């Protein structure tokens, strides 16, 4: 059971954390509680309706109660010119908790975001070290991961560009990702009815003979275009078993950072496309060491955050209480370069950040007092 936390107490804790981020050189930023739903839906897809409160404004259309700060903060920053900057924010976010009814649906977040294009490894280390220091008295277990390595691995597979794009698109949906990998590796056959259509079409038959009238927005050209792609796909050789093994090795990789780095270096011999991502990992560890982080005892998990942290595309991290497995992560964060590209409409600015949940910090202290 997560203890209920008094709102004024959590605000005090939140202000303490914000003071800490301000002292680290951040400037204050804020975001409206009511956000236009369209931007968030286009980014996260329909799934977010299950997690965010959607409401209707007669003039503005669908609005959402702010489910996080990162998206509006990035949007403001990109609109304002995308210069290097450090920000901190404090405020409520709102989440429906259908899967975890015991968790609060309204809670505070205090965040720190760093926009910086000079040295990404150093920026990653700065943000991680800052959160580690802010929560240092709590004895939390850190977790780290790196989507950059997963993305580089997909890029390096002997697959056609459409197949690689399909894997990239579903990197954050492990079930669908797994199905695609198995199909590309020849371990899953195409569905028979569609396979027959593709085969007949490839052999010069008219696929539309029995299709009935064309209705709806999706045109004949789009249907035939996809059939062309399916014919090309059916002719593609399967992903070599050795590469599948490498990919699985990477996805399952879980070790302390130095040992993980060592394994990734070994894999790079067979998958050279990993090289620059592994180099970045190494530079990050160096930058972390320089900031006093004990990287020898820092866990690394290549798949960390694959189901929850959907806009991250590089370094990711989280802090959890090892003695209270029922609590959500007290802090999470990561790098989201691609998000700045999407929201920047032509501009981009590498960025990394994270947020703490002050109520969870207090809940942890309370639980430990009563333990």
Partner 1 sequence: MTVKLGVPSKGRLMEKTFDWFGARGIELRRTGSEREYSGAVRGVDGVQLVLLSASEIPRELAAGRIHLGVTGSDLVREKLPNWDMHVTELEPMGFGHADLILAVPRCWVDVDTVSDLDSAAAAFRAEHGFRLRIATKYHRLVREFLKHEGVADYQLVDSQGATEGTVKNLTAEAIADITSTGETLRANHLKILSDGVIHKSQATLFQASNVTWTGAEKKILNQLTDMVAAPVS
Q: Which residues bind partner 1 (CB under 8 A)?
A: 41-42, 45-47, 49-50, 98-99, 101, 166, 169-170, 173, 175-177, 179, 191, 193-194, 197-198, 207-208, 211-218, 220, 222-223, 225-227, 230
The minimum distance between CB 310 and partner 1, in angstroms, equals 10
The minimum distance between CB 207 and partner 1, in angstroms, equals 5
CB atoms within 10 A of CB 284: 26
CA 158 to CA 154: how far, in whole Å? 9
CA 39 to CA 107: how far, in whole Å? 22
β pairing state of 315-320 and 141-146 = antiparallel
CB atoms within 10 A of CB 191: 9
Judged by beta carbon, residue 12 or residue 208, the one nearer partner 1 is: 208
Judged by beta carbon, residue 186 or residue 207, the one nearer partner 1 is: 207
Judged by beta carbon, residue 207 or residue 299, the one nearer partner 1 is: 207
CA 215 to each of CA 49, 129, 285, 321: distance values in angstroms, whole numbers, following the listed order: 29, 57, 56, 55
CA 22 to CA 355: how far, in whole Å? 14
The minimum distance between CB 28 and partner 1, in angstroms, equals 35
The minimum distance between CB 191 and partner 1, in angstroms, equals 5
Sheet holding 106-115, edge to edge: 27-28, 85-94, 106-115, 351-356, 331-335, 315-320, 141-146, 299-301, 254-256
Residue 329 in tokens: 């992560």
Tokens 């489910």: give the residue. Answer: 67
Judged by beta carbon, residue 227 or residue 273, the one nearer partner 1 is: 227
Judged by beta carbon, residue 41 or residue 256, the one nearer partner 1 is: 41
Judged by beta carbon, residue 32 or residue 226, the one nearer partner 1 is: 226
β pairing state of 351-356 and 315-320 = unpaired
At residue 100, the 3 state secondary structure works out as coil
The minimum distance between CB 51 and partner 1, in angstroms, equals 11
Question: Cα 232 to chain center, whole Å?
Answer: 31
Residue 348 in tokens: 């981009």
Judged by beta carbon, residue 4 or residue 50, the one nearer partner 1 is: 50
30: phi then psi, degrees, rounded to nearest 5:
-135, 170
Buried b / exposed e along 306-324 (16+ C-beta atoms within 10 A): beebbbbbbbbbbbbbeeb
The minimum distance between CB 143 and partner 1, in angstroms, equals 24
Judged by beta carbon, residue 28 or residue 50, the one nearer partner 1 is: 50
CA 316 to each of CA 66, 334, 353: distance values in angstroms, whole numbers, following the listed order: 22, 4, 9
The minimum distance between CB 215 and partner 1, in angstroms, equals 5
Judged by beta carbon, residue 32 or residue 169, the one nearer partner 1 is: 169
Residue 344 in tokens: 């920047």
Nearest Cα neighbor of 21 from 85, 91, 113, 108 is 113
The minimum distance between CB 181 and partner 1, in angstroms, equals 12
The minimum distance between CB 99 and partner 1, in angstroms, equals 8
């Amino acid at each position: 059971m997560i203890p209920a936390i008094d709102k004024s107490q959590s605000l005090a804790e939140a202000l303490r954390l914000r003071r800490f981020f301000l002292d680290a050189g951040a400037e204050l930023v804020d975001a409206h509680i009511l956000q236009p739903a369209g931007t968030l839906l286009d980014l996260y897809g329909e799934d977010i309706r299950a997690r965010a409160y959607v409401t209707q404004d007669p003039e503005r259309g669908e609005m959402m109660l702010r489910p996080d700060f990162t998206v509006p903060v990035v949007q403001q920053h990109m609109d304002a010119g995308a210069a290097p900057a450090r920000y901190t924010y404090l405020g409520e976010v709102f989440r429906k908790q259908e899967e975890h009814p015991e968790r609060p649906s309204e809670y505070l977040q205090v965040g720190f975001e760093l926009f910086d294009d000079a040295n990404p490894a150093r920026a990653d280390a700065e943000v991680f070290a800052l959160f580690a220091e802010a929560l240092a008295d709590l004895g939390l277990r850190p977790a780290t991961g790196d989507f950059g390595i997963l993305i580089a691995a997909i890029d390096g597979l002997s697959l056609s560009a459409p197949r690689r794009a399909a894997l990239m698109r579903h990197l954050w949906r492990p079930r669908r990702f797994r199905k695609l990998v198995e199909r590309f590796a020849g371990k899953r056959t195409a569905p028979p009815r569609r396979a027959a259509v593709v085969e007949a079409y490839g052999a010069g038959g008219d696929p539309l003979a029995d299709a009935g009238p064309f209705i709806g927005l999706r045109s004949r050209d789009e249907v035939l275009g996809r059939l062309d792609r399916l014919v090309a796909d059916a002719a593609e050789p399967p992903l070599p078993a050795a590469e599948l093994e490498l990919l699985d090795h990477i996805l399952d990789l879980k070790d302390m950072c130095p040992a993980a780095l060592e394994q990734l270096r070994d894999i790079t011999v067979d998958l050279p496309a990993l090289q620059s991502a592994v180099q970045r990992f190494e530079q990050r560890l160096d930058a972390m060491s320089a900031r006093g982080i004990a990287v020898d005892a820092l866990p690394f998990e290549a798949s960390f955050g694959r189901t929850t942290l959907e806009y991250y595309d590089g370094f990711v991290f989280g802090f959890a209480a090892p003695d209270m497995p029922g609590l959500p992560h007290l802090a999470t964060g990561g790098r989201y370069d691609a998000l700045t590209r999407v929201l920047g409409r032509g501009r981009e600015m590498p960025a990394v950040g994270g947020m703490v949940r002050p109520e969870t910090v207090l809940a942890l202290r309370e639980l430990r007092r009563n333990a």
